[in-house]
Amino acid sequence: MPPGSLTLFYGILYYVIRDYLHAGDSDLAHFDLQSSLELCERHFVGGLSRPEIMSDPTLEKIQALLLGVLKAQEEFDVQRCWTSLSLAFNMCQSIGLHRRSTLERDEFAIAEAKRHAFWALYTIDKNISLNIGVTSHFQDHDIDAELYTPSNDPKHRPWDLMGLVIVEFASVQGRVYDQLYSTSACRAGDEQRSASIERLSSDLMTVRDKLLAIDVSQGLYSDSLHGMAACADFIAYSVLTVIYRAQTHPRDVMAVSSQCYASATAALQSHLKCFTYFRGRQTHKQTEYVNWILLYPSFTPFVIVFTHAITTASTADLALLQDTTSSLELIKGLSRGSMHLYTICDAFVRAAQILVNSQQTLTGLEQHQDGSLVIPTTDGPGNIALPDVSWPEDTFDSTMNQADISMFLNGFIGTNRSVMDILSFDLNSDSIQ
Q: Report the share of the chain in percent with pLDDT over 70.
A: 92
> What is the side-by-side strand order in the sheet with 366-367?
253-256, 373-375, 366-367
Given this model, what pLDDT does residue 285 score? 86
Given this model, what pLDDT does residue 401 score? 65
Instruction: Determine the Cα angle at 146 with ends 145 and 150, to 5°.
Output: 145
pLDDT class of 1 with cuts at 50, 70, 90 = confident
- The continuous run of DSSP H or E covering 423 comes out as none
Q: Report the share of the chain in percent with pLDDT over 90.
A: 64
The C-alpha torsion from 292 through 202 and 265 to 390, rounded to 10°, is 100
Tell me the DSSP string of 353-410: HHHHHHT---BS-EE-TTS-EEE-TTT-TT--B-------TTSS-TT--HHHHHHHHH
Arithmetic mean of pLDDT, 323-332: 95
Calpha distance 401→329 (Å, rounded):
19
Of residues 283 and 271, more confidence is placed in 271
pTM of structure:
0.92
pLDDT class of 409 with cuts at 50, 70, 90 = confident
Phi, psi of 359 (to 5 degrees): 60, 25
pLDDT class of 3 with cuts at 50, 70, 90 = confident
Calpha distance 113→94 (Å, rounded):
17
379: pLDDT strictly greater than 70:
no
pLDDT class of 296 with cuts at 50, 70, 90 = confident
Q: Which amino acid makes up residue 224?
A: S
Arithmetic mean of pLDDT, 38-63: 95
- Tell me whether strands 373-375 and 366-367 are parallel, antiparallel or unpaired: antiparallel
- The continuous run of DSSP H or E covering 255 comes out as strand 253-256
CB 145 within 8 A of CB 100: yes
CB 334 within 8 A of CB 341: no
pLDDT tens digits, one per residue of 254-263: 789 999 999 9
Of residues 231 and 360, more confidence is placed in 231
425: pLDDT strictly greater than 70:
no
